[in-house]
Amino acid sequence: MKFLNECDLGITGVDIFGFCCILFILSYLGYIIYYAFGLYGINPFLKPSPLTTREENRLIGLIGFLGLLDEEKRATFFKRVSWFRSKKTFSFKGPVENKEELKLLISGAGALLTLGMKNYKYIKSVQQIVIYPSEYYSIINKKHHLGEYNVGLKTLVFSADTLVHGFESSTDNVNLAIHEFGHALFFETKGKNTWEALRLQWGFKKLKKLYGTPELNKEALGLNYFRKYGNTNVFELFSVLCENFMETPVHFKEKSPEVYRIVKQMLNYHFSKSH
């Protein structure tokens, strides 16, 4: 009996190498397509799990703002929370407890800021979320932080204890998650030509013109209602205003109606109750 070897079949090492290269390229392209489908929410194999009743009630209990929305808006909010939680990458550094709770709260903050928009996925601005147990040292800017947004790495970073406290103290206008998502939302809309992106950037330009003026300082930052951290720069101002808008919107409107109107237009909120 004659045994065929590679030479008899006309197969060479070059052929095998070329075949392996083609197989690798096809596999890589398949992974990219699979990941992209999942990221944009069209992968039939990666469907987000709906929130449980307990999770929905937890968010309602922590986010008083949801009481201003009708049932349809709240249902949309819950779906978007579920989507964000399942599509984004969460990384935990150190002994972080209650990981699922943290994912829920972070996803809720992201969905809350974009509830008035069609584009709610932060595709351009957020790819991963990193969570530390408490204050951490950033190797990028050599400082200790409670939270930050890194636009270059498309990464949100949080200290878990500060993040949770921001939701448990729901009327002090200090919410780390909402604050950092405010930064991400600016960069998500920057350079886009959609109406909602242009609307937010237009509002940001108005805030920039007001920033540092006697008008803004008298009406807003000088009232002891808005955090003085908003004086740092216009980016921090916007994030601080987002915190106030989401935690105490009624007081915001009373204290600073003009600034409130700008933020409301930027986020495109329409409420079911008088607001």
Q: pLDDT, tens digit, for every residue of 24-42?
A: 676 656 545 545 554 554 4
**Average pLDDT over the chain, rounded to whole?**
86
User: DSSP states of 23-58 as a string?
Assistant: HHHHHHHHHHHHHHHHHTT--TT-PPPPPPHHHHHH
With a cut of 50, say whether residue 9 has pLDDT above it.
no
Report the C-alpha dihedral over residues 262, 230, 184, 131, rounded to 10 degrees. -140
Q: What type of residue sits at position 151?
A: V
- Judge contact between 203 and 117, C-beta under 8 A: no
User: Could you tell me the fold of the domain covering 53-267?
Assistant: Collagenase (Catalytic Domain) (3.40.390)
Q: Across residues 243-254, what is the average pLDDT?
A: 94
Domain locations along the chain: 15-47, 53-267
Q: List Cβ neighbours of 199 (8 Å cut-off, separation of 6 or more).
A: 265, 266, 268
* Residue 99 phi, psi (nearest 5): -65, -40
The rounded distance, in Å, linking the Cα atoms of 31 and 37 is 10
Determine if the pTM surpasses 0.85: no
Nearest to 116 by CA among 246, 258, 247: 246
**β pairing state of 143-145 and 136-138:** antiparallel
What digits encode the pLDDT tens for the residues 114-164? 999 999 999 999 999 999 999 999 877 788 999 999 999 999 999 999 999
Per-residue tokens: 161: 């204890």
Give the whole-number percent of the chain exceeding pLDDT 90. 64
Task: State mean pLDDT over 52-73.
Answer: 94
Sign of CA dihedral 47, 52, 53, 58: negative
- Give residue-wise pLDDT tens across range 170-228: 899 999 999 999 999 999 999 999 999 999 999 999 999 888 776 666 555 556 788 88
Of 163, 167, 130, 129, whose CA–CA distance to 146 is shortest?
A: 163
Q: Which of 218, 259, 219 is nearest to 242 (CA)?
A: 259
Name the least confident of 21-25, 45-49, 161-165, 248-252: 21-25
